[in-house]
Copies of this chain bind each other. A is one copy, B any other.
Amino acid sequence: MTRWYEDISPGDTLPLGSHTFTQEEIIEYNLQYDNQYFHTDPELAKHSHFGSIIASGWHTALVGQRKLVDGLFAEEEKLRDEGREPGVSGPSPGINRMSFITPVRPGDTVEFELKVTDKRPSRSLPGWGLLFNRMKAVNQNGEVVYVAEFVGFTKLRDFRPTIRQRIMMWAARIPLLRKLLKR
Binding site for B on A (CB under 8 A): 32-36, 38, 49-50, 54, 56-58, 61-62, 65-66, 69, 90-101, 103, 125
- A52 CB to nearest B CB, Å: 12
B residues less than 8 Å from A99 (CB atoms):
93-94
- A109 CB to nearest B CB, Å: 20
Count this chain's copies in the assembly. Answer: 2
Q: Contact check, B95 vs A97: say whether CB atoms are below 8 A apart.
A: yes
Residue of B nearest to A70 (CB): B35
- A91 CB to nearest B CB, Å: 7
Residue of B nearest to A38 (CB): B91
B residues less than 8 Å from A125 (CB atoms):
49
